[in-house]
Chains A and B, each alone.
Chain A
C-alpha cells in the first residue's frame, strides 16, 4: 500500500471549516483513499473514502487532486467534538484488501 504523509497537528476554530491535507504521491491506480478518526481512546471511526472523484457524506467531504497524489478532508463546520486524531490511509483490493496501515495521523484540535 502507498505511504501517506500528514501534518502532525492542526488547529481550527469552532464553526469554521477544517481542511486536513494528505500526501500519497506513490498511490497506484487501484488504490483508494480512506479517512478515519479516533477520538480519545475510542475505536477509530470511518469517515469517508474515494478513488478519484470528490466524495461527500454527512460527516465530511473528500477532495482528491486530479493526479491523485494528494487529498484533503474537509469538515465543513468543525465542532469541539471533532477534536481527534485523523488518519489518511491508502489501500487497494485483492490480497491487500482491508489491511489498513495506520500512520501517526493528524491531531486536530478545535478551539472554542
Chain B
C-alpha cells in the first residue's frame, strides 16, 4: 500500500542467524505494528510501537526484538532465527485514536515471506 514499505519481500535464512526486517512509512503515523501470519493461526501481534523509542510486546514476542529510532522506521529482529519463525510478516501503521477514541483503520504492508532452513 502507498505510504508503507516492507523489506525484504522474501528472505531465506539459516537457523541460528540473525535477521532484521524493516518497515518504512511515509505517513508520519504514530503507531506501528508487526504481525506474523501462519496457517491455522491467522494474524498474531508480535510487537508494536506507540512512538519513537516506545515499544511493547504483543501476543507472540518471544524470540523477537524491535527498535524504533525514528518515526518512519520500525525494525523487527530475530536474534537467532529458528524454523518456527518461518512465516509471513506484516507491518501495519495507524495514526492513533481519533477524537472519539475509535481511531482509524490500519494500513498494512505487502508482507515479508521469511523461510528459516
The chain B residue sitting closest to A93, CB to CB, is B101
The chain B residue sitting closest to A104, CB to CB, is B42
Residues of A within 8 Å of B, CB-based: how many? Answer: 26
Interface of A, secondary structure class, is loop
Is B42 a contact partner of A43 (Cβ separation < 8 A)? Answer: no
Is A43 a contact partner of B97 (Cβ separation < 8 A)? Answer: no
CB distance from B76 to the nearest CB of A (A): 15
Contacts of B58 in A (CB 8 A): 99
With contacts A43-B109, A44-B90, A44-B108 known, is A49 near B42, CB below 8 A?
Answer: no
Chain B, residues 84-108, CB within 8 Å of chain A (1/0): the string is: 0000101010101100111111111
Residues of B within 8 Å of A, CB-based: how many? Answer: 30
CB distance from B25 to the nearest CB of A (A): 13
Is A97 a contact partner of B96 (Cβ separation < 8 A)? Answer: yes
Given contacts A43-B110, A44-B106, A46-B104, 7 further A-B contacts (CB under 8 A): A36-B106, A41-B88, A43-B109, A46-B105, A49-B102, A51-B100, A104-B42
